[in-house]
Each structure stands twice: as C-alpha cells, then as structure tokens.
Structure 1
Amino acid sequence: MNNNKNLYAKLIPVMLCFFAMGFVDLVGIASNYVKVDLNLTDAQANIFPSLVFFWFLIFSVPTGILMNKIGRKKTVLLSLAVTFASLLIPVFGDGYVIMLLSFSLLGIGNALMQTSLNPLLSNIITGDKLASTLTFGQFVKAIASFLAPYIAMWGATQTIPTFGLGWRVLFPMYMVIAVLAIVLLGSTPIEEEQPDKASGFKACLALLGKPFILLSFIGIMCHVGIDVGTNTTAPKILIERLGMTLAEAGFATSLYFIFRTIGCFLGAFILRKASAKLFFAFSVVLMLLAMAGLFMFHTETIIYICIAMIGFGNSNVFSIIFSQALFAAPDKKNEVSGLMIMGLFGGTVFPLAMGVAADAVGQTGAVAVMTVGVIYLLIYTLKIKK
C-alpha cells in the first residue's frame, strides 16, 4: 500500500509536467489572435509557430548532453522555469517583438522538456508498464492542447474583467500551473540511474547516411508540419470560407486535438493487435481523404469532419516512425532518438511555406503544402517493414 502511495506521489508531479508540455500547442490559436491584433499577413503570423519549433533543431541533442551533467529531474525543472518565463512575458503586452520572445522561450522550454521528461518517467515506471504510462502522459498533454483555444475564446468574449488581457488570459492561467509543477516536482525525490554516454551532433547527423533513417527523419518533419499546420490553419479556413469570427473558429483547433487524443488512446490498443504498417497506411489514407475534402468542400460540417480525420490520422504517426527508426539501428538508440526529436523542426518549415502559399492563393494554398507532407507519408508506408 505504501509503495502505491509513493508511486502516485511521484507520478502526479510528472503528469503535471506532461500537462505543461502541452502548452506548446497554444501557439496555433495564439498566432491567430496575434494576427488579428497586429493586422499581420499569414506569412508574418506563421513565423510564430515556426519559431517555436525551430529550437528543436538547436536544443534536442545538447539537452541530452545536459541531462548527463545535471540529471533528468533538474533538466525538467529548468524546462519548466523557461516555460514560466515564456508565459509571463505576454502579460505585459502583445507587441510583435514581445510575442516573438515569448514563443522563442516557449519553444526552448518545450525542446528541453520533450527530451528530458520521458526519460525521467522511466526512473519511476519500468518494464511493460512504461509504454502505457507514456501513452497516458500524452493523453494528459493533449488535455492542455485542446483546452487552450477554449480559454483564449473565453478571455476574448468574457464580459467580466480579465485585467485587460482578453484572450491573453490564457498565459497567466497556464503560468500558474507551471509554477505548481515546479513546486511539486522540485519537492519530489526521484532516484536516477547513471547517465548514458551522450550523443553528439556528429554521431546523430552521420545516421542520415542510412537511407531508412533519412526517410524516417523527413517523415517526422512531415508529421509535425501537418500537426502544427492544422493547428494553425484550421480556424483560418473557417474564417475565410464561412465568415466566422476567430472566437467561433477557434473550436476547430480544439476539435483537432480532441480527435488526436482519441487516436492516441485507441492506437495504444490497436497496435497491440494490428500490423504497424497496415495501421500507418490507414492513418495516412484517412489524412489524404481529409485533405481532398478541404480542397473540394466549403460547408461547415464537412470541414469539421475533415479536421477530425486529420487529428485521428496524425495521432500515431510519430510513434510508428520513431519505433521503426529504432528498429533500423538498434545499436544507436541514443543517436536515433536525438535525430528524431530534431525532426520536430518540421514544425518550422511547414508553417512558413503554408503562410507564403496562403498569402498567394488563400488557405487552399496552405492545405496544398500539408498535402505534400501526407503524400510523402504515403510513400514512406511502402518502406515500413511490418
């Protein structure tokens, strides 16, 4: 009984950190509000989500080295401190430079957290229970993701005072949770194993010489690009085609995350029975049909259905590609892990391209960019071994 109490006492602060990990997804809805507030073009507004994910390219491997020096728990605490700072800054205004700084710090903090939190959990949960606990952590993370648009919408439309923050009330609300996570995790003793040998940039990049690893790296970039792209573009499609207000259209982002959460939950069970290749193919075809629907139809119901299909289809792509890459180089797991996390840089490339395309031909252009990523994943399906 005491062992269970001790386990839960350690798990609760770690799961709160997973919730804080989901703060990064607020960038989609936030960039839409900043676009309206500052009268930006799509290309200018999409710099914000691009900037957030740019830092994964820079910080993923160095974070692994840092963990070996100061430990996993201290690295997670550092990530929470950086995240706290990123959420504090918008309280003082929503100017262009202020939001650039805020989103930069949010991206840096999340890069630190994504790299260190999963290994920290492995110090608490081991064996066959680790995978299911990690899945639950992703479920908790997704709660923060789909709550963000609702909180922003509430702040933008609320009649009671929000201290002049409006939609930006989202930031101090999440900031309080970040502080709580710091306090709880900081006061929780967690024994850590001796660190593994750290991987360097050279060791990671050398793996791109292996064709399947390179294909997997690009696949991760496409997955994250579609994820961030849908998060950012879904409300814009409704605004452009149906004349919705941003507050009304913000539900589209939440809908995407709701179905991505459902997909993660069901995928954990489906992948125990079904072939990874077959389920991956089903997921990608589902996204391809959704993209075709966004090209062809302009009715509210079908647009929502397409967004939900993308959320479900994209929910297990990362885990399948990641595991396939590990299978391809089982003796280089540290290097492969660092390289795949660097692939989250796709969240920078896609929104920039989508912003330029949207300014040129409307949101159909943004959908076309995402469709290129889906087609690549369809080709990648042929390379999956089982």
Structure 2
Amino acid sequence: MKQKPIFSALPILFGFFIMGFCDIVGISSDYVQRSFGWSPVMTGFVPSLVFIWFLFLSIPVGNQMNRWGRKNTVLLSMGITVVGMLLPLVTYNSTTCMLAYALLGIGNAILQVSLNPLLNNVITDDKLLTSSLTAGQVIKAISSLVGPEIVLLAVNYGGEDKWYYCFPLLGFTTLLSAVWLMLTPIKREPAVAESQVSLSSSFALLKNQTILQLFLGIFFIVGVDVGTNYISSKLMAMRFGWDEDAVKFAPQVYFFCRTIGALIGVFALSRVASIKYFRVNILCCIAALLVMLTVEHDMVNLACIGAVGFFASSVFSIIYSKAIQAQPDKANQISGLMITAVAGGGVVTPVIGFAIGAIGIIGGILVTLCCVLYLTYCAFGHAGSCMGHGPF
C-alpha cells in the first residue's frame, strides 16, 4: 500500500529538530570561555567553528547530492553528527571540544543542504511546501529552545565543568532520527546528469539578480539569528549586571519567541502573501533593535530580544522556498548555494565579538541592525518585487 505523504514527511520534519542542535553554541560558548579562559574575541569564534562549514561544503554537497540521493545525504550528515557528539567523552580538552563543534557544523551543513529539498520528494504543492518549510523552522526553533535546557541538565548532573555531557544526549537523539528516516520509504528524486552540475555552474546562478539578493538574504538572516542568540546573555550581563544563572533566561526568551513566531508563520503564510509578511516582520525587527539600542531597561531589552526572534522567525523559510521555486530543475544546486549563505552565522559573530571588544555591547547590537537593514532592502528591492509576482 502506498504510504501517505504526511507519514513520509514526519521523519524529515523531525530532522529539523536535529538541525536546531547547532544553536547550543550560544549558551555553551559561555561555559567554553570559562573552561579554557578565552577572551570575548576568542569566544566569538566558537560559532564560526560550527557555521563556517556552510561556506565550504554546501555547494559541493549540493552537487554531489545528485549522485548520492537526498535521503542518503541526510543520513550521512547524521552519522557525522553522532561521531562529533561522542568525541568529548573520549577526552575533554580545547582540541576535542573544537573538533566536536566542527563536526557538529559539518553534519549540520550537510543536513541543511539535503533535508530542505528532501521535503520536495514528498510535498509537491508550492504553497504547502512553503508552509511545511516553516513548520520545519518551528521544529528547529523548539530544538533551539530545548538546547539550553539540555546543557543546563548536563551542568546540574555533573557540575559546570561537565557541561559537555550534553553532547552524547544530542548524539543519541540524532541516532534515533537517522534510524526513523532509514526505515521510512521515500521515492528518490530524478537523477541529474553530472555534466550539468559543477562548482562554477552553481556560482553562475548568482548572476541572476534575484538569486544573488536571496543568497545575501539568507546570509544576513542567519547572521541576525546567531548574532542575537550570541549577544542576548552578554547584553543582560554587561548592561544590567545579571548573574550567570539569570542570563541564561535571555536566550530562552529568544528561542521561545522564535518558536511562537514560526508557529504563527505556518498558518499565516498559507493565507497571506509571503512578501507582505516578510516586509511587515522585518520592519518590526528594525523597531525592536532600535529600542534595544536606545532604551536601557532590563525588561524592555529582554522583550526586544524576544521580538527579534518572533519577527525574524519566518524570514529564512520565505527566502529559501522562493529560491528553490525560482528554478525547480536546479533545486539541489540552489539548495547548496543558499545553504552556503548560512556561513553568515560564522562570519557575523566574530564581527560582533570585535565590536563588543571595541565599543561594548552597543557594538554587537549595531552589527545585528546592519544585517536587518540589508534584509529590509531585500524585502523592498528587486528580490521583493519578484517574490510578489511568484507563486507566493
């Protein structure tokens, strides 16, 4: 009997939960800093260990996926993640810790390239695909919300110096996800002739002005996401003197609001034109950052952190789905190209770290605001106009 698309989509959607594991870099970077005595600038490179791999691996994996198949590529990513999550248990030092983060990033980069288009294998309706991608972002946001709790669970169990006990918990969950997907029959996508895909042909897609602006849109929305997660606890500590226990509440507020925003987006995007939704949300995001920049009140700033998470929550899925639908016959290449832009998370956070070191926490907020200003241009410029005339 033929399996219904919803049942085939379930293990794929659960894969978005694994995708959210990379967001533990926000809270765990504080423990890494204390464990090894790193400076704020050095600590700013911790997210880079995770997100820089998107820059180097996404396009080659997107092209190679034509040979491997999307499902097999997802399973490969999960295998790499499991290996990385076991390393700190073998021996815990700065080297193995950095290697664990790197393998988490490598696995996550491959996962994001392959998991998003794998939904295309079971969901063919354009509007339903956008909604399903947003549903995936809800699940990813839930994972991001749970991530700090997993880290704190490890701290409560083994003490602050055993925070890395969170890694095997993440690894075991990844293993369960891989087994579920492996046992679920999913029809393989049509093969593409290898002569048609190459690194140069993928980058050639950026000659299309719309694809280029959407590529940069992904770069900066991930920068906003990772950057806000990264500075949230530091903002409350540096500006208001919150202690170590209290500051952990800031990233949780961010992820909770991002989860609610993504959940609302699932339903809103099936009823409202995505370009209108994009424009309204990005303007609200600017407003939240401006208030955060100018008003120094702890609850107001905490609310602004949550507001950025809420209003930015659906932007990634809107931009990504538009890019995929722009040229469906090149979905694998475009997926690799777009996920390359996720490296924005690894580029923006060191810049934030330098800005904080130079002029304080206000520098981190200004860098995040600059990212949002580009997204505003993306929403109201050429790419936004094309979105308004597409299947959205």
The corresponding residue for 2:361 is 363
Alpha-carbon distance change, 197 to 305 in structure 1, aligned in 2, over 3 angstroms: farther
Instruction: Map 1:1-386 to 2 at 5 A.
Output: 10-127=8-125, 129-156=128-155, 158=156, 161-162=157-158, 166-197=162-193, 199-326=197-324, 333-383=331-381, 384-385=384-385, 386=388
Identical residues among aligned pairs (%): 38
Cα deviations by residue, 1:324-360 (Å, 9 ceiling, x for unpaired): 4456667755443332211111111100111111111
CA distance in 1, matches of 2:18, 2:113: 14
CA shift for structure 1 position 218: 1.7
Q: Which is worse superposed, 335-344 or 364-373?
A: 335-344
CA distance in 1, matches of 2:72, 2:334: 23
Cα deviations by residue, 1:77-112 (Å, 9 ceiling, x for unpaired): 111111111211223455322222111111110111
Question: Match of 1:74, as an amino acid?
Answer: N
Q: Give ranges in structure 1 of 5+ residues lacking alignment.
A: none
CA distance in 2, matches of 1:337, 1:351: 23
Matched residue of 1:40: which SS?
coil
* CA contact 1:216–1:322 (8 Å) conserved in 2: yes
Question: Match of 2:144, as an amino acid?
Answer: S
CA distance in 2, matches of 1:323, 1:70: 22
Cα deviations by residue, 1:240-265 (Å, 9 ceiling, x for unpaired): 12222333212221221222122222
- Work out the number of aligned pairs and report it: 381
Alpha-carbon distance change, 88 to 42 in structure 1, aligned in 2, over 3 angstroms: same
**TM-score computed with the length of structure 2 as normaliser:** 0.89
Matched residue of 2:186: which SS?
coil
CA shift for structure 1 position 301: 0.9
Cα deviations by residue, 1:262-293 (Å, 9 ceiling, x for unpaired): 22222233233334333222212211112112
CA shift for structure 1 position 178: 1.4
CA distance in 2, matches of 1:85, 1:326: 31
CA distance in 2, matches of 1:9, 1:279: 29
* CA contact 2:258–2:313 (8 Å) conserved in 1: yes
Question: Match of 1:184, as an amino acid?
Answer: W
CA shift for structure 1 position 189: 3.2
* CA contact 2:117–2:335 (8 Å) conserved in 1: no
CA distance in 1, matches of 2:278, 2:315: 7
**TM-score computed with the length of structure 1 as normaliser:** 0.90
CA distance in 1, matches of 2:322, 2:122: 25
CA distance in 2, matches of 1:122, 1:335: 14
Aligned-pair Cα RMSD in Å: 2.4
CA shift for structure 1 position 230: 0.8
Question: Match of 1:371, as an amino acid?
Answer: L
Matched residue of 2:313: which SS?
coil
Cα deviations by residue, 1:51-95 (Å, 9 ceiling, x for unpaired): 211111111122223322222222111111111112112234553
Q: Give ranges in structure 2 of 5+ residues lacking alignment.
A: none
CA shift for structure 1 position 113: 0.7
Alpha-carbon distance change, 74 to 245 in structure 1, aligned in 2, over 3 angstroms: same
* CA contact 1:84–1:178 (8 Å) conserved in 2: yes
Question: Match of 2:288, as an amino acid?
Answer: A
